[in-house]
Each structure stands twice: as C-alpha cells, then as structure tokens.
Chains A and B, each alone.
Chain A
Amino acid sequence: EPEVTQTPSHQVTQMGQEVILRCVPISNHLYFYWYRQILGQKVEFLVSFYNNEISEKSEIFDDQFSVERPDGSNFTLKIRSTKLEDSAMYFCASSVLSVGPGELFFGEGSRLTVL
C-alpha cells in the first residue's frame, strides 16, 4: 500500500541551527501538507502546498519556516534558526484532492529535539 515516508525519524539539533525535514508523498497525490505536534498537545496545521507554491499557511508558519519541492518527489520543511519551542513531532501528509472529504495520508513523523 502506498505511504508517505519521512526522514529523519529523529533529529537532535542545537538552538539556532538550520534543520531540513524531508518527506516523500504518495506518488499520484497533488497536495502536500506539514503539521506539527508538540509533546502532549494536539496536532496543528502549518502549511499546505500545491502546484509548487504555498496555498495556505497558519500563524505558526512564520519567516523561520519554508517549504519546497526541490526535485518533483521530495517535499521539504526547513526551519532556518531553530528555537527550543520548535521541539515537536513534524508530520507530512498528502492527498489527491484539496477540498472536500478526501482522504489525507500522514507519514510517521520526524521528531525534532532542539537543545
């Protein structure tokens, strides 16, 4: 069964360092998303991406964050200068359709620990 894959599964970094989290969405999907989940809290939407541009983003997704699809298969989330509060599980998701009750498939997540 096709799945969304994410790497790394766990990354530890020093505050102020740049981090890139990678995702390979399901191959025929057109819409890509990043979410985060701080330990013990609910999942929060960060950004949605379609046709090589951001289609929607939340207040959390400030100038420290960026996304891109560098090679047609990978979908990356970059955090330019990490802060302690960026420590969280980051989930990538993809879907065939955008609006409506379409299925949204999540990856297993990348756990980011900022020291």
Chain B
Amino acid sequence: KNQVEQSPQSLIILEGKNCTLQCNYTVSPFSNLRWYKQDTGRGPVSLTIMTFSENTKSNGRYTATLDADTKQSSLHITASQLSDSASYICVVSGRGGSQGNLIFGKGTKLSVKP
C-alpha cells in the first residue's frame, strides 16, 4: 500500500536553532515529492517539489533532500523563526497518477519558542 510516514510527530525548538524533519515513503512508481507548510486552520503552502532526479532543493531557509533509492526525504530548517511554527507535510505523487491524487503524510508539528 502506498504510504508516507513522517517523523517526529512533533518537535519543539528554540528560535534560531536548526532542525531536520524526516519523511519515508513506500509509493511506487515514484514521480515527485513535495513539502508543504500548513499553519493551523489554513491551507497548505508549497515549499519545495522534487522529482526523481533531484537530490536537494532549497527555498530560503528551507532545504529538502531526496534519496529515491532508500525512499527517504528530509526537510532542514535553518535559523528557525517564530513564524516557522506550523505543521510540515510531506506529500508524494506516484508516476502516472494525476497531480490531484497525492499521498499525504500526517505531518510534523513544529513549535519554535522564543
């Protein structure tokens, strides 16, 4: 069964610190992997999209990595800010599937404290 698992479930860090969130997936065949940021009660906002051939992609203080062989991805947040407090969701699309039929992880809830 196609699944996306994220860890940790929740994380608390101090402002200014770095953190890394993990995503493992079993989706096959694979097309692309996305990381979204979702503020509480709001819609997901795209951070990065990576295809099979991409190993790393950055968006400001966010850097995502992808290892398609081990089916793992990570999202690294540098110099965290209070506004980074949100859920971070890993989303995987299988090859041949429509863009809409994405498989979502449960997310990692990040809290950045002053």
Contact = CB atoms under 8 A, between A and B. Distances in A.
Do A and B actually bind? yes
Interface of A: 4, 31, 33, 41-45, 47-48, 55-56, 58, 89, 91, 93, 95, 97-109, 111
A35 to B, nearest CB: 8
A45 B99 contact: no
B86 to A, nearest CB: 14
A60 to B, nearest CB: 12
Nearest to A106: B43
A109 B42 contact: yes
B114 to A, nearest CB: 26
Contacts, number: 73
Contacts of B100: 31, 33, 45, 47-48, 55-56, 93, 98, 104
B104 A98 contact: no
Interface string B97-114: 111111011110000000
A99 B49 CA distance: 13
B50 to A, nearest CB: 8
B102 A45 contact: yes
A58 B43 contact: no
Nearest to B96: A99
